[in-house]
Homo-oligomer: A and B are copies of this chain.
Amino acid sequence: MTTLSSTPRTRLGRHPERGSDDRAALHEILDDGMICHLGIVVDGTPRVLPTAYGRLDDTLYIHGSTGATSLRDGPSQDVCVTVTHLDGLIIARSLFHHSINYRSAVIFGTPRLVDDPDEKLAGLRAVVENLTPGQWDTARQPTRKEMAATSVLALSLDEASVKIRQGGPSDDDEDYALDVWAGTLPVRQTIGTPSPDPVLRPGIAVPKHIARRVTS
């Protein structure tokens, strides 16, 4: 499947021209991100919580403590997971046409609590590797007790939508004559110089895969 399905929930009400039904675009937005916002309904009201995630093919994995409300109640109900990249501030000539450049993915579905030990490990690996590629094989592996204390949820990417706004400002025709600056302020999420744990044993250099993560 290379295109995204359209359902009442994923159909875009506003600015449908910003939508994309390209599954590759969905994967790219997810793989570029580090945290998602998980929406659940508790006692009839919404709750939105930031959390880490990872992707394997067309499944999103989310992990957490077995004690967390969001994960305990998660499998029995629909959730919404949103990943957003803020890419720019659009400065227009009129206040009305101010906007932001962004890429967002919104996923709907009922998550599945992962029981299979192999899939659970693979899901956790996906979460760690999404944040820091190469890290899974470097650190001390989880013990049986640690695995038991961790819940992993799997959410299918079957019902998802992608929305992207890019490019510069778009003003009303008559406003182009104004003496007002217009343009784009690019926004980026950057990773800086690694800061070693103050009690790190002497002689342990920053691993290559950590150094590669630095973007600024």
Q: State the A residues within 8 Å of B (CB).
A: 9, 13-14, 34-35, 37-42, 44-50, 52, 64-65, 67-69, 78-82, 84, 86, 89, 91-96, 98, 100, 102, 104, 106, 108, 124, 128, 131-132, 135-136, 138-143, 146, 150, 168-169, 175-201, 204-207, 210, 213-214, 216
Contact = CB atoms under 8 A, between A and B. Distances in A.
Contact of A180 (B140, B177, B186): B140
A67 B14 contact: yes
Contact of A37 (B34, B82, B95, B195): B82
A89 to B, nearest CB: 5
A189 B187 CA distance: 7
22 contacts: A9-B42, A14-B68, A34-B89, A35-B100, A39-B47, A41-B45, A41-B46, A46-B48, A91-B132, A93-B140, A95-B140, A95-B142, A96-B146, A100-B131, A138-B181, A140-B178, A168-B197, A183-B194, A185-B195, A185-B214, A186-B193, A187-B192
A180 B195 contact: no
B37 A138 contact: no
Contact of A197 (B13, B142, B169, B196): B169
Copies of this chain, complex-wide, total 2
A50 B104 contact: yes
A186 B143 CA distance: 28
A200 B181 contact: yes
A192 B101 CA distance: 14
A46 B68 CA distance: 18
Contact of A195 (B45, B86, B139, B168): B168
Nearest to A199: B176
